[in-house]
Homo-oligomer: A and B are copies of this chain.
Amino acid sequence: MKKYLIVGGVAGGASTAARLRRLSEEDKIIMFERGPHVSFSNCCLPYHLSGVVEDADSLVLMCPEKFLKQYEIEARVNNEVLSIDRENKEVAVKDLLTGEVYKESYDKLILSPGAKPIVPNIPGIENVNVFTIRNVVDIEKLNNFVKSNGIKNVSVIGGGFIGVEAAENLKEAGYNVTLIEAMPQIMKPFDYDMVQILHKELYDNDVNLIVGDKVSSFEKDTVVLESGKKVQAEAVVMAIGVLPETELAVKAGLELGETGAIKVDQNYRTNDKDIYAVGDAIEVYNALTNSMTKLPLAGPAQKQARAVADHIHGKNVLNKGFIGSSVIKVFNYNAASTGLNEGLIKALNMNISYDIVYIIPGDKVGLMPGCEQVHFKLIYEVPTGRILGAQAIGKGNVDKRIDVIATAIKFGATVEDLRDLELCYAPPFGTAKDVVNFAGYVASNLLNDSFRQVRVSSVRELVESGACIIDVREKDEYEQSHIVGAMNLPLSEIRNRLDEIPKDRPVYLHCRSGQRSYNAVLALQHLGFENVYNISGGFLGISFYEYFNDKTMNRKMIVTDYNFE
């Protein structure tokens, strides 16, 4: 009989415990949790604020009694592990209800302490009611406070997953919500061109979104920003990020990695071979950046937990590293991403040559009810075509497309491989040439130098510099709304109006989504025009990209009034 102690009873800890039990019936397994609950759904916490998850108790998936009865796992809640005596292989534990401190020995110790919300010591922080969202107690505290105090104005600080989900769910509950992000954009898994859609959606749903402005201090029920702006807030949710819980590990002399999280080897062992660590407290190997990273997500935590239990039982599990896949719902939009994005490539100063595809096909056959556009961005290595990452945002099934890319990346796929994928097709589910196939085609064409493109992000500069922009949509589409100064030459007329197109300078073509203009670009090239570019993302992409900037930066519109409905 062996004795396994586990510190932390949520995703990583509980999964390790359950797998350890399945691998052996005789071992003693004890899980310590400082808080009153084990095995709660931390990812569902924000949904309690809106009532989507009405009963806070339901957030707790397994109680200690059930752990004991079903799995013979002792889950000691309200028990905090204070220290580790590595030499004698025992921990000191404090029962937080009785105050008693006791010792427990181990054969193997697994640390899954998680990460804690960062609450910076901003001047005047005592003037506001500050909340964080980490566990069931936190979310009940916040929910009860705003409900029972007649709160009207809530500020959420930090535009990551938890911040955005909290903002949405508070808004759904009827509060005036301000979401404040110091960086120029929310949601780092998305590039600036893609995230504009989410900025717009928050804005359109009446969330007072402020980006590129930092909290400088607090006054009575008020957030003061560096710009001087003041925001009333009877409650403030701090969601600027999390820090790995490393205190226990550091005190025990366990090594931390370069990211500040607990350092583990390929089998999730710390520098003490009898102590493993998993979950938000550790750093993992990113298989695309080839560097260590913090990846505080539930999916990886569960994979690590299983690998640890297997390793303890002598089963080899190859550690292939992580690429990071995630998804979020933002009101009516779904936004998913996997692998690298341009922001990350730049932030890490990665020495990698890449290009992107930005397409906006339908997520199903246009005739079907509920057909929605998918804004899809693919990032791939040049010249190899190796897929590095993708982002998809739309009202429909975007996660499906990103899951396919995430799978392809795991196998080192290239953009050519995407063309061959046979994905499920019937009109209510997709198109015969799926979004993913389509992206593969476009990327292959770019790699083969069939055509050249510019980004939606460069259109403003083109407009301001008086470049020749040709809108190849039909006349009625052009008349509804168009780029200021763009010439209308419908694809259906372009071959007969070649003399209207300048040959002495570059011309930039666009249609609605980039499909017709791609055909026009190829036709012009074949007809002897040498300096032709497709505007990837098309008019739709440009409109989304510019909308939020127009509204918040008071920049002059480069598009005549576009109706997003």
Contacts and interface: CB of A to CB of B under 8 A. Distances in A.
A430 interface: yes
A137 interface: no
A423 B306 contact: no
A300 B432 CA distance: 8
Nearest to A525: B25
A426 B71 contact: no
A421 interface: yes
Which of A69, A336, A403 counts the most B-chain CB atoms under 10 A from its CB? A403
A402 B425 CA distance: 11
Contacts of A413: 411
Contact of A429 (B11, B327, B493): B327
Contact of A399 (B161, B329, B424, B441): B424
Contact of A324 (B66, B337, B422, B523): B422
Contact of A44 (B326, B367, B441): B367
Given A69-B493, A338-B422, A422-B324, A302 B432 contact: yes
Interface stretch (A28-36, A52-60, A246-254, A347-355): A52-60
Contact of A425 (B58, B70, B326, B397): B326
B368 A44 contact: yes
A334 interface: yes
B44 A492 contact: no
A372 interface: no
Contacts of A497: none
A495 B399 CA distance: 41
Interface string A37-57: 000010110010000110000
Given A70-B491, A422-B325, A441-B306, A427 B41 contact: yes
A211 to B, nearest CB: 22
A365 B413 CA distance: 30
B24 A526 contact: yes
A324 to B, nearest CB: 7
A522 B419 contact: no
Interface in A108-135: none
A433 B14 CA distance: 13
A324 B25 CA distance: 43
Interface string A307-347: 00000000000001011111111000010111000000000
A337 B422 CA distance: 11
Contacts of A21: 519, 523
Contacts of A526: 24-26
A220 interface: no
Contact of A419 (B303, B407, B417, B437): B303
B334 A429 contact: yes
A43 B323 contact: no
B491 A424 contact: no
Interface in A479-493: 491-493
A329 B424 contact: no
A325 B424 contact: yes
A513 to B, nearest CB: 15
B326 A424 contact: yes
Determine how many copies of this chain the complex contains.
2
B11 A425 contact: no
A403 B402 contact: no
A22 interface: yes
A298 B306 CA distance: 41
Nearest to A495: B72
A368 B407 CA distance: 25
B47 A368 contact: yes
A23 B445 CA distance: 11
A512 to B, nearest CB: 14
Contacts of A303: 419-420, 437
A93 interface: no
Contact of A367 (B41, B337, B441): B41
Contacts of A299: 422-423, 425, 432-434, 437
Contacts of A402: 424
A282 interface: no
A187 to B, nearest CB: 12
Given A403-B404, A407-B408, A523-B25, A329 B425 contact: no
Interface string A58-102: 110000001001111000000000000000000000000000000
25 contacts: A11-B432, A22-B519, A24-B526, A25-B526, A43-B432, A47-B368, A47-B427, A69-B492, A70-B516, A299-B422, A299-B437, A303-B420, A303-B437, A306-B441, A326-B426, A329-B426, A337-B424, A338-B422, A403-B424, A406-B422, A406-B423, A407-B407, A407-B421, A410-B417, A411-B411
Given A25-B526, A397-B400, A410-B420, 13 more contacts: A25-B522, A25-B527, A43-B425, A47-B368, A299-B432, A302-B433, A324-B422, A336-B429, A400-B400, A406-B421, A407-B423, A410-B421, A410-B422
Interface of A: 11, 18, 21-26, 41, 43-44, 47, 52-53, 58-59, 66, 69-72, 161, 297-303, 306, 320, 322-329, 334, 336-338, 365, 367-369, 397, 399-400, 402-404, 406-408, 410-411, 413, 417, 419-430, 432-434, 437, 441, 491-493, 495, 516, 518-519, 522-523, 526-527
